Amino acid sequence: MATIVPFKGLRYNPGRIEEMAKVVTPPYDVIDTDAQDRYYKRHPYNIIRLEYGKTYPEDDEADNRYTRAARDFDAWTKDGVLITETEPALYLYEQEFFAGGEKKIRSGFICGVKLEPYDKGIVLPHEETIPKHKADRLDLMRACRANFSPIFSLYADKEKKVEQSLREAVARTLPDISFTDEIGESHRMWVITDQAVISKVQQIMADKRIFIADGHHRYETALNYKMEREAQHAQNEPYNYMMMTLVNLYDPGLVVLPTHRLIKNVDNLDIRRIIERIKDSFVVEEHRLGANGSSLQELIKLMAERGQVGKDKGKAPLTQDTLAYHPHVFGLYAGENIFYLLQLKNEKELSEIMPQGKSPAWQGLDVSILHSLVVDRLLGIGGELMAKAEHITYTREEEVALSLVDRGECQLALFLNPTFVEEVINVANNGEKMPQKSTFFYPKLITGLVVNQL
């Protein structure tokens, strides 16, 4: 099963960088041009210049975002801005944050994970990917020969043996890195070089599968990069491994949030006709938003309550059967302050109404049901149209979705409940992939704590 290794990471030199918060960023895929410009201005050594550099009209093959990143990376290492670990290490990493008004701490560890094709069943995906994003990451990897940000992945360790081993190793030490970022989340990281501890963690992980939570594009890019280089080198070369942050499926700080769908540019969209057709498969309730009705957040909360598994507010054991047949509840908004609450009529008949050739685990996903029965079947957005992303966009902010529809920038918004982590694992174990943007593991990992040279 999974092969994990320590590595000699490059980290910002504390003698050169006094405030880590000024040089780190969120992952590249959530950074827009305004944020990119802000990080450029924040510090001359901000990781944005390596991970997600600016583009300019005059860019060419000799001078572009990738060549500039490579030049900066080389200069920063030579000038001692980035320094290499003296020994191979694992990195214990904590994020402290608030979710749903509750303080949480999510723990994981950063390591190298041996790259394996998906069909081996050792490292498993759960979402479809977009080809153009992989091309960008491959160009960066070719130019810099490094991983600047870790892939976020999961593993199952019910007895928490890995965390116990790592915690014991740092029990009497302060973190090597500790800071609070721009949105108030705290980050702590310990460097662990004790070979006995590393060996123990490797042994515990040896019989486990790795499930990619966030970073499918970068993993598939790393596989492509490995194939480009492996013909000339041995199997233990650094590019045979990908830097990952591994989080236990049973970690109490593991939070999954929904990603809502926004529909646009659909010709002749008649919302009344769509609602009537939706009633074939869903019970539809009409709620008025505003001063004389419900608030959006009240309706989102109602969606969550009705979508719980079991009678005890979601506390029943999450077996594959209960997950497959839990209530499937959605929201739809098309303007005029009317919010439609949709609930699938007959959960136990999914195999008859959902695409064939898919497992019950896949057929029972809220996101699969929404895409199959509404987005594809009723709105006609499926296959190539879905891949082109011309008719569908995504947001995690309910109020933003509402505003985009009210302003006429989108035709309707489709709201989902969060996917259960167990559902992600069940689908991945079956060798299947969920639709794009099915999950949002909150919070995102920070970029810039450690760099892995290939």
Phi-psi region of 344 (alpha: psi -120 to 50; beta: other; left: phi over 0): beta
Together in a domain, 173 and 106: yes
What pLDDT does 233 receive?
66
The token pair that represents 253 in the structure block: 């700080």
Nearest to 454 by CA among 138, 80, 210: 138
Per-residue pLDDT band at 156 (split at 50, 70, 90): very high
Together in a domain, 13 and 135: yes
Task: Give, in degrees to the nearest 5, the angle at Cα 344 between 337 and 362.
Answer: 115
Q: What percent of the chain has pLDDT over 90?
A: 74
What pLDDT does 116 receive?
95
Measured in whole angstroms, the distance separating CA 164 from the mean position of its chain's CA atoms is 25
How many beta carbons lie within 10 A of that of residue 27, not counting itself?
A: 20
CA-based max dimension of the chain: 70
What pLDDT does 320 receive?
57
Together in a domain, 449 and 402: no
Distance of alpha carbon 100 from alpha carbon 256, whole angstroms: 11
The token pair that represents 353 in the structure block: 């109404």
Residue 420 has pLDDT above 80, yes or no: yes
Reported as a single tens digit per residue, the pLDDT across 404-416 is: 999 999 999 999 9
Together in a domain, 221 and 321: no
Together in a domain, 224 and 313: no
What pLDDT does 265 receive?
93
Together in a domain, 176 and 325: no
- The pTM of this model reads 0.86
Residue 69 has pLDDT above 50, yes or no: yes
Together in a domain, 155 and 29: yes
What pLDDT does 235 receive?
64
Nearest to 128 by CA among 381, 439, 360, 343: 439
Residue 198 has pLDDT above 60, yes or no: yes
Per-residue pLDDT band at 66 (split at 50, 70, 90): very high
Domain encompassing residue 382:
260-437
Mean pLDDT of 429-449: 90
CB 80 within 8 A of CB 16: yes
What backbone phi and psi angles, to 5 degrees, belong to 444? -65, 155
Together in a domain, 37 and 82: yes
SS3 238: helix
Reported as a single tens digit per residue, the pLDDT across 224-276 is: 999 888 776 666 788 999 999 999 999 999 999 999 999 999 999 999 999 99
Distance of alpha carbon 32 from alpha carbon 170, whole angstroms: 37
Together in a domain, 277 and 250: no
What pLDDT does 388 receive?
63
Per-residue pLDDT band at 319 (split at 50, 70, 90): low
- Detail the DSSP E strand segments found in 352-438: 392-395, 412-415
Together in a domain, 168 and 213: yes
Mean pLDDT of 116-123: 94
Together in a domain, 245 and 280: no
SS3 312: coil
What pLDDT does 424 receive?
85
Count of domains observed in the chain: 2
The token pair that represents 230 in the structure block: 């492996």
Per-residue pLDDT band at 313 (split at 50, 70, 90): very low
Together in a domain, 118 and 246: yes
SS3 249: coil
What pLDDT does 348 receive?
61
CB 82 within 8 A of CB 76: yes
Cis peptide before 360 (omega within 30 of 0): no
What pLDDT does 152 receive?
96
What pLDDT does 317 receive?
46
**Average pLDDT over the chain, rounded to an integer:** 91
Residue 322 has pLDDT above 60, yes or no: no
Out of 117-121, 347-351, 427-431, least confident range = 347-351
